[in-house]
Amino acid sequence: MLVKTCGLRRIEDIKYANELKPDFIGFVFAKSKRQVSIDEAKILKDMLDNNIKCVGVFRNDDIKLIKEVLDSNIIDIIQLHGSEDDEYIKEIKSFTNLPIIKAYRDSSLCEYSLFDNVNPGEGIKFDWSTIKSNKPYFLAGGINLDNLNDALNHHPYCIDVSSGIETNGFKDYDKMKEFIKRCRDYE
């Protein structure tokens, strides 16, 4: 099972990722307690193993911010985590060919969907049985070591975790290691 560790913001987080090799990591550019600036993300990206894809998380942000991040060559995938409509997505598609993950719904303009709690990053699980998608999807929303097997049994394209691998608001190496191992071992 593919795994994305989201909300990385410290040098230690990148060191953990480089050792543990998630498929994707996420930098949150949207307003959040895990938000990073473009300059911070550049530094972290330069340290990241080239085999790990970097996702930029945006939430109803000005498209100028997305362009600025793209011009900085930080991310490999765009994640739209708000109420962005297809017109917004079309505008992004007019200046980039990067894949887009759209949260909360399938969009014919996006390569992936993502299903999450309406308050992302809070560690609150939602009813995963309500998920209906015609696309490969990322599953997030309160996933942690206690409920990971239930999440895996929904067979998403990728498990997306943030607070579930933290202790006191910071990425926890041991939780991250166990989480990734269990995703890799899932059949």
Q: Tell me the pLDDT tens digit for each residue of 116-126.
A: 876 655 566 77
Nearest CA to 63 out of 82, 46, 42 is that of 82
**Percent of the chain clearing pLDDT 70 (strictly above):** 96
What is the per-residue pLDDT across 25-49, written as a single tens digit (0 to 9) for each?
A: 999 999 999 999 999 999 999 999 9
Instruction: Provide the β-strand partners of residue 56.
Output: 27, 78
Quick one: which H or E segment has residue 24?
strand 24-28
Average pLDDT over residues 114-143: 82
> CB within 8 A of 29, min separation 6: which ones?
35, 36, 38, 41, 56, 57, 58, 61, 65, 69
Q: At what angle do helices 11-20 and 38-47 cross, to 10 degrees?
A: 30
Whole-model pTM?
A: 0.94
CATH, domain 2-185, list 3.20.20.70, 3.40.50.720, 2.40.30.200, 3.40.30.10: 3.20.20.70
pLDDT in tens, 98-114: 999 999 889 999 999 99
Q: Which residue has the higher pLDDT, 21 or 142?
A: 21
Question: Which residues are registered as beta bridge partners of 170?
Answer: 167
- pLDDT of 149 above 60: yes
Helix (H) or strand (E) holding 68: helix 63-71
